[in-house]
């Protein structure tokens, strides 16, 4: 992809309203939610021993899932690590576990609840661990957009596709409108299937994954894509633009991957001659075009495992994962693509004190922070998830 030139201009990031910790709440999401219990002090020297003891006391009754972007102090207690879909599948494969402690973010815990048995309970150690990308697509906004498409007479041509990184009710919306969920690994297959069902795709909530897949993997033109801004009347688009578009991209993005810029790529190429630039498809389009390789988290992990000893890699994804990969492969030069720190702040809400608290509550017979998706939403979301599993 490196060296491709374009006159297209990258849209500015969607502003994200930041909430300072402990200062107010956002009723439209779970940002700013207080922990309902008594958290252990972060400085408690016994935290590791307490987590080990609580986990041992619970035995097979608990199954701890750790997303790749989690902190080391939490990952060490994970029974399995992976991306969001792999973790939800792993939870579903452990019906004997009464409690699934999900060290990830809210939409992931929802997916696990949808895919596990009703008797299993999914616990998110900190309810404030949301996802800014998922929060950028709220059901009411999406339904308003769909009504607009119906008024224009184009809804029947459109297949809705949502990235795994979306709330359960957005997955439910997609399921009841005959669409499909996708991950960053199967986005091309999901889009290929969708364009066999209709002539347009409404892609939620990550504009970058949608654009990068359509343009770089499927040969669409950038002009085939339009950006639907939920904060503008009619999405900020004319009827003609919507009628002509093949990909209607929701204006959402990942606030972590959205931070990498073309300058990050140029700077590392100057600093480290011969470096391979490897980025996640949630990165901006110009960054992905300038990179040497693009792929999902699992792709990044495998690419670095297979890399030649002595080779240099600048990786554009969440910093906790990049640090662990650098430690796991000391024979390769693995570095973070950007000069500035870039953790996922909501993912990082799950720290060792919250994990200890959740496990000790379970030992005491109390079940904290259960994430439950109502049956109707779960049923409709499962339709879209099953469609993903059935992709050719
Ligand atoms: S890394 Fe991005 S998409 Fe993933 S949880 Fe954080 S904000 Fe959401």
pLDDT digits (tens, 9 = 90+) for 208-246: 999 999 999 999 999 999 999 999 999 999 999 999 999
Res 279 pLDDT > 90: yes
State the chain's mean pLDDT as an integer.
Answer: 92
Separation CA 127–CA 122 (nearest Å): 12
Q: From the alpha carbon of 255, which atom of ligand 1 is closest?
A: 7
**CB of 291 closer than 8 Å to CB of 2:** yes
Q: Is 280 annotated as belonging to a binding site? A: yes
Task: Measure CA 17 to chain center.
Answer: 18
Cα angle value 165/301/252 (rounded, 5°): 25
- Among the listed ranges 33-47, 183-197, 249-263, 375-389, which one has the minimum average pLDDT value? 33-47
Res 21 pLDDT > 50: no
Q: Is any atom of ligand 1 closer than 6 Å to the C-beta of 387?
A: no
Q: What is the whole-number distance in angstroms between the Cα of residue 154 and the centre of ligand 1?
A: 31
**CB of 19 closer than 8 Å to CB of 32:** yes
Is the pTM value of this prediction over 0.85? yes
Residues in the chain: 392
Buried/exposed 260-282: b ≥16 CB within 10 Å, e otherwise: bbeebbeebbeeeeebbbbbbbb
Q: Who's near 270: CB < 8 A, 6+ residues apart?
A: none
**CB of 387 closer than 8 Å to CB of 152:** no
| Pocket residue to mutate for ligand 1, from 109, 347, 349, 350, most atoms within 8 A of Cβ | 347
Query: CA dihedral in degrees (98, 102, 108, 109; nearest 10)?
Result: 40
pLDDT digits (tens, 9 = 90+) for 329-347: 999 999 999 988 778 988 9
Average pLDDT over residues 159-167: 97
Name which residue sits closest to atom 3 of ligand 1, judged by CA.
254
Q: Is 184 annotated as belonging to a binding site? A: yes
List phi, psi (to 5°) of 323: -65, -45
Separation CA 297–CA 171 (nearest Å): 21
Q: CB-based burial of residue 89 (10 Å sphere; 0-12 exposed, 13-18 middle, 19+ buried)?
A: middle
Q: Structure tokens of 333?
A: 């030069």
Q: From the alpha carbon of 318, which atom of ligand 1 is closest?
A: 1
Separation CA 291–CA 278 (nearest Å): 6
- The DSSP symbol for 68 reads T
Res 23 pLDDT > 60: no
Q: What is the whole-number distance in angstroms between the Cα of residue 264 and the centre of ligand 1?
A: 20
Higher local confidence (pLDDT), 303 or 19: 303
Res 378 pLDDT > 70: yes
**276-279: strand order across its sheet:** 293-294, 276-279, 312-316, 333-336
Q: Is 131 annotated as belonging to a binding site? A: yes
Q: Is any atom of ligand 1 closer than 6 Å to the C-beta of 344?
A: yes
């Amino acid at each position: 992809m490196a060296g491709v030139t374009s006159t297209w201009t990258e849209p500015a990031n969607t502003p994200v309203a930041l909430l300072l910790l402990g200062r107010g709440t956002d009723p439209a999401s779970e940002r700013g939610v207080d922990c309902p219990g008594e958290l252990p002090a972060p400085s408690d020297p016994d935290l590791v021993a307490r987590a080990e003891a609580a986990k041992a006391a619970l035995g097979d009754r608990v199954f701890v899932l750790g997303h790749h972007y989690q902190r080391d102090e939490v990952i060490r207690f994970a029974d399995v690590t992976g991306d969001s879909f792999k973790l939800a599948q792993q939870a579903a494969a452990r019906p004997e576990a009464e409690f699934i402690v999900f060290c990830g973010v809210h939409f992931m815990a929802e997916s696990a609840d949808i895919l596990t048995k009703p008797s299993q309970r999914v616990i998110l150690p900190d309810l404030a661990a949301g996802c800014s990308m998922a929060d950028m697509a709220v059901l009411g906004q999406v339904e308003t957009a769909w009504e607009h498409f119906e008024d224009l007479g184009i809804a029947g041509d459109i297949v809705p596709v949502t990235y795994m990184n979306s709330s359960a009710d957005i997955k439910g919306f997609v399921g009841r409108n005959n669409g499909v969920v996708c991950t960053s690994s199967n986005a091309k297959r999901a889009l290929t299937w969708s364009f066999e069902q209709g002539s347009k795709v409404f892609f939620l909530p990550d504009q970058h994954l949608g654009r990068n897949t359509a343009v770089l993997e499927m040969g669409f033109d950038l002009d085939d894509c339009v950006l639907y801004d939920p904060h503008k009347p009619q999405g900020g688009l004319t009827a003609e633009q919507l009628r002509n578009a093949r990909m209607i991209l929701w204006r959402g993005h990942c606030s972590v991957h959205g931070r990498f810029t073309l300058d990050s790529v140029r700077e590392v190429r100057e600093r480290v001659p011969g470096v391979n630039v490897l980025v996640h498809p949630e990165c901006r389009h110009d960054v992905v075009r300038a990179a040497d390789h693009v792929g999902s988290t699992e792709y990044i992990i495998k690419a670095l495992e297979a890399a030649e000893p002595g080779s240099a890699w600048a990786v554009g994804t969440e910093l906790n994962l990049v640090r662990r990969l650098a430690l796991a492969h000391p024979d390769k030069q693995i570095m973070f693509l950007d000069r500035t720190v870039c953790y996922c702040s909501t993912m990082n809400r799950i720290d060792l004190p919250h994990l200890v608290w959740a496990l000790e509550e379970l030992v005491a017979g109390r079940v904290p922070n259960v994430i439950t998706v109502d049956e109707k939403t779960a049923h409709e979301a499962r339709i879209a998830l099953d469609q993903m599993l059935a992709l050719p």
